[in-house]
Amino acid sequence: MKKTFAKAFNNWKASKLRILELSKKSDTFGFTKFSDMSPAEFKKIYRPQTVSPRVLAKSCLATGVTTVMEKSPLGIPDSFDWRTKGVVTRVKDQGQCGSCWAFSTIANIESQWALKGNKLQEFSEQLIVDCSHGCSNEPPYGDVCNQGCGGGWQWNAYIDIEAWGGVETEDAYPYTAEDGNCQLNKKIIEAPIKNYTCLSAQDGGAKEDDMAAFLVQNGPIAIALDATPLQDYSGGILNPGTDGCMTTQLDHALVIVGYGVLSGTNFWIVKNSWGQDWGEAGYFRIIRGTGACGINNAVSSVIM
């Protein structure tokens, strides 16, 4: 026990030094519930899979889904937030399980289901963790697979969910934050999906103006990015020019629910799955228009 405390305290001291240095360049950093973890521990638990954008784009497109690059229509608002429209569920907490991909998948489905005129309903991430083990093979890169708490990707889950005919509710299949045996009950599934759309192209990320237009027209969108700076994020608008993230390695899946502008800085509003006691009540803002942290390199949404 003393050894565990000593390790956590040493990690906290290292975090303090790191945050002090980061704070010299940006005011978005501070102590978080992850400050007693080393960056390596944080990555192992919360960001277990790291894949290049090219692999992700090729994987997402592998099933023959047509890439949709929405043209930005004249007159889309300067700011937009689906949370104000009653189609975004509460921020959930994945716990110490690398299941961000399941939370991103389900959050996208929850919003799409509500946008179809149905009651806003919480669906089961645990079902996805336990039952979605699909892979997309992309030679010469190899397999991109769903591995429960070991990580995964949304489009592999979309394919499984389409085959199942939908998903179960959160109440019917509650979250445990650990790998379990699949208990899929097709008699009680809801929210069937027809297909999914990838916005990112193999030779480059989606244009963020197109992403904004797609979001306004179609609802929250699933994404992935490099989550390195999120361990120390406390609030404000992240800027990769000072916050130290990469566009070439993506390791965390989330959902964009809106966008805005503050003092001339365009930003995205992103829903995370680390609980409401992290970030800005479970959300964070990140600069929009620069491909920050690879945010535009693995963009997708289900079709209902």
Which active-site residues does the annotation give?
Answer: 100, 252, 272
DSSP states of 263-300: TTEEEEEEE-SB-TTSTBTTEEEEESSS-GGGTTSS-E
In whole angstroms, what is the distance from residue 196 CA to residue 303 CA? Answer: 5
Q: Please report, for residues 51, 77, 143, 210, 214, the alpha-carbon distance to residue 73 in angstroms, rounded to integers and kept in the order given.
A: 33, 10, 37, 9, 10
DSSP string of 214-267, one letter each residue: HHHHH--EEEEE--GGGGGB-SSEE-HHHH---SS-B-EEEEEEEEEEETTEEE
Under DSSP, is residue 92 helix (H, G, I), strand (E, B) or coil? coil
Mark 8-18 as b/e (b = at least 16 C-beta within 10 Å): eeebeeebeee
* Amino acid type, 260: G
DSSP letter for each residue of 169-197: BTTTS---SS-------GGG-B----EEE
Closest alpha carbon to 99 in 172, 162, 47, 28: 47
What do you get for the CA distance between the two ends of the chain, in Å?
50
Report the alpha-carbon distance of residue 303 to residue 65 in Å, rounded. Answer: 11
Number of residues written out for the chain = 304
**What tokens does 245 get?**
């993230």
Q: What is the C-alpha to C-alpha distance for residues 152 and 126, in angstroms, rounded to an integer?
A: 13
